[in-house]
Chain A
Amino acid sequence: MNTNGLMAAVVTGPHGQHVGGGIILVALVVLAALCYGGVRLTHRVRQSRRRPEPSSPTPSNTAPEPPAQRRQPSSRPPEPPHPNGWAVETHALTKRFGATVAVDDVELLVPRGSAFGYLGPNGAGKTTLIRTLLGLTKANAGTMSLLGTPVPAQRSRALARVGAIVDEPRFHHHLTGRDNLRLLAAARGGDADQRIDPSLARVGLTDRAGDKVATYSMGMRQRLGVAACLLADPDLLMLDEPMNGLDPAGMHEMRAMIASLAEEGRTVVLSSHLLDEVERTCDAVAIVDHGHVIRQGPIDELIRGAGAAALQVDCAEPARAAQLMDQAGIVAGTTLTESGLTVTLPAGASRELVADINRRLVRADIAVYGLHESRASLEDWFLSVTSRLGDPT
């Protein structure tokens, strides 16, 4: 039998019947089952699973209340639960890449409804932490939850109300902005597709929604990224370096948008190495360095606690003024300089103390020409607590 006979035998079977078509059909049925069969099942499963969602805590519209105590990883008593619950909660979270520890035993508590800055130098592990929280990469150790839902155990449920931009927002360049959002809305499910137009309007991309993303500027892609976040109608937004690539006007607008999102009661976690941005936008921060959270709390509280404020006193008799202050015992110290008197205020001093100093000098007949209070900025404090201060670069 030649090869054709061989082929014919295979296709027609040992008894001359044609089995080739049957075999092809069987194989195609398997193929079709992989492709289309599941679609019908989807509806059945979804119908059978349609039951009331467990109620979640309602975020407050009031100003965020950050954790009362400064957190010291691994060696402190458990944090009391926040009245509104925590939007993000991690315990001993660790992520390693080989020998490199990108996220090191991180204890993080982000109050619901706050604008929270996650601040650290480049390479500190900010993005890795966000990626771990979002399930983009697996943690090596520790526990975490988003909006009170543990992840990764209930990752899908947790992420249903989370919007995020991680690194530079990238999209399918060959699709329009609207089509990209349609793709993401389809993945979101529910009524996400009905939020496409409002989201585009909110970020000001309605007029350009029909253009391909390839024609978008960096700033417009950032806006599209925010629009993608809004599809989830998110209770929690995690924005990783959202100001990257924006011009000053774009940064101003992005800052306003973040503020407005926070005002609506959404929790905004802003990861950045731009101290100024975080200081302007957020009411609480965590400082991360070498993968480790070294401080967290309200910005004002951290700065006050981190370093003493100084008061430059421009007066007629600096020496007598210094003696007066030392005798009163209301300041931490005094220093006479060529330009006058510098008074070191005690930690946590209020503005009333400045008024009191002025009052005492006037009563002592010392002419006061000016008082200038200089407090430590977030940058001063940041440099004082991170290892970058000692970097030769």
Chain B
Amino acid sequence: MLDLASDGPSRPFVSTEVDEMSDTELDGLAFGVIGLDAEGTILRYNLYESRFARLDRNQVLGREFFGEVAPCTAVESFGGRFQRMVSAGSDVAAEHFDFTFDFKFGAQQVSVEIIPFPAIKRYYLLINRQAVGKARLDPPEGGFAVLQSALAPDEAAVGVRRDTLERRFVEVPWSLLAALRSTCERLAPESWQVFCTEWGVQWGRRMAIDLASTALETQNAALRELSMRDVTDLVAESIAGQGWGRPTFDFAAAREGLLIIEVARSVLAEAAPGRAIKRPSEELTMACHLLAGAISAVFSNLAGRRLVAREVACKAAGAPTCSFVLVAASRRATLDEALKKGNRGVDAMRAALLRAPATREDA
């Protein structure tokens, strides 16, 4: 399989370069980013902020931040500070302060940094969640932050569905995945696995942000500081809750440098072409590259360095269940070589990895 430069954590964040970052890069950050113009109109809004504010990015872009979206910030300590910064023109430095966001669904203690780009009249709010708590009983000065339902009422009537955290979702029938798989095989027979792995990596990065948000909301803790059991339970619930199949994690080989994951009833494996009669020349291929990419990205994000997951046995290729191993990026070549030679299954991979012990440096 091709090397994927993107299956690790994103590049290091430099606040003075935030305006140059793409939307995809902003979505990979584990803190909120809101880009404003000098009037306070929202120009950019990343996934983390969207998740915590429970607002759809498409509905907030172009709206006025202080008055319309977050009235609780229209106070001297936030909106006033922003105004003074804008009025100061080019001779202005970044400012850092603590604040409490008041949503109707809860209060959020945050630290805020305003990064000014006066030459282009853009100002970025970097918002780091410190703790979450219950909502105030009385409205704060300025009022509560707006709710998604107020920004876009009656969305159901126009075919928009949202979950309890106001994230838009689409109900995907099994047949759509089967159609995607057959299209991939027809149009890109050599490279569809790479495409699906990369898609999974991008999805996994967003999933990691989501899991971090859940950890902070439910346990007031950073995800990486939770026990490994709690983290894997969250990952399993997230994947199974969406209907992809249920992952279980086997920690027995951790001291050998690998984490073993099995996914029962993977929808990707079951959507792969069913071949009750195997033709002699036909090799049944593994199907769950999307999940492998997502697992890579979620745990890379947690580890803060590149980890690589590969599917090593697949129900679509005749195995009883789908199995994956997660290893350091430095062992990716060993893993891929073993798979290329036709080795399948967790035991075969453990043996191959034991024969080629890990170096501690990532490739």
**Same complex origin of A and B:** no
A interface vs B, CB < 8 Å?
A: none
B interface vs A, CB < 8 Å?
A: none
